């Protein structure tokens, strides 16, 4: 078993700056993908379904993530499709562990983000960083109160994705353990 901390990665927001509608971020490559959940919500035969979901990925991010002293884990609604569709565009291995959400998009009775409780459960006391665009202060407090090990919740602006200062912060936090 590894002693390295976990790096729990969301796709949309941190790796795919989906809110950057009119901006072209340098180095990002546009992919047209058809994840199952998204495809199921489209009109059969529609132009949108034929074109696929626009996902922008930065190919250099894979090498940057692999260079960090973490064990990478997908913490995304893409679940196993992240290995099939996202990993190749980033140059990541196509067999990263995946948090399999049992309460996908479920409303939390305490107002937490739907992923928060299962992230804590999945980490099982191991040090972790969770990178996501929907983390709130409520989630940060919940993790601090319920996770016995070190944890950093790193919210990322979904208009910008992971930035240089985010990578630097990830490196510093891991080295500080």
* Domains of the chain, start order: 6-18+58-176 (3.40.50)
Count how many residues are written for the chain: 177
CA nearest to 77, candidates 21, 133, 37: 37
Q: How far apart are CA 95 and CA 82, in angstroms?
A: 9
- The first and second tokens of residue 154, run together, are 């790193």
Angle subtended by helix axes 116-123 and 137-146, to nearest 10: 30
SS3 121: helix
Q: How far apart are CA 129 and CA 59, in angstroms?
A: 22
pLDDT of amino acid 57: 96
pLDDT of amino acid 23: 64
pLDDT of amino acid 22: 66
pLDDT of amino acid 3: 84
pLDDT of amino acid 103: 85
First to last CA, the chain: 17
| Residue burial 163-172, b: 16+ Cβ < 10 Å; e: rest | eeebeeebee
pTM above 0.75, yes or no: yes
In order along its 177 residues, the chain shows pLDDT tens digits of 568 999 999 999 999 999 987 667 788 999 999 999 899 999 999 999 999 999 999 999 999 999 999 999 999 999 999 999 999 999 999 899 999 999 888 899 999 999 999 999 999 999 999 999 999 999 999 999 999 999 999 999 999 999 999 999 999 999 999
CA nearest to 90, candidates 62, 68, 64: 62
């Amino acid at each position: 078993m590894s002693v390295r901390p976990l790096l729990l990665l969301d796709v949309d927001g941190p790796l795919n700056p989906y809110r950057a509608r009119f901006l072209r971020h340098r180095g990002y490559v546009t992919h047209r993908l058809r994840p199952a959940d998204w495809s199921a919500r489209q009109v059969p035969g529609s132009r949108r379904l034929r074109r696929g979901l626009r996902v922008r990925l930065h190919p250099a991010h894979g090498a940057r993530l692999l260079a960090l002293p973490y064990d990478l884990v997908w913490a995304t609604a893409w679940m196993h499709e992240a290995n099939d569709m996202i990993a190749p565009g980033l140059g990541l291995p196509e067999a990263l562990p995946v948090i399999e959400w049992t309460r996908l998009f479920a409303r939390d009775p305490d107002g937490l983000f739907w992923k928060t409780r299962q992230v804590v459960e999945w980490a099982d006391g191991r040090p972790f960083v969770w990178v996501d665009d929907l983390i709130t202060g409520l989630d940060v407090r919940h993790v601090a109160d319920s996770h016995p090990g070190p944890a950093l919740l790193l919210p990322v602006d979904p208009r910008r994705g992971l930035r240089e200062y985010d990578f630097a912060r990830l490196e510093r936090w891991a080295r500080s353990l």
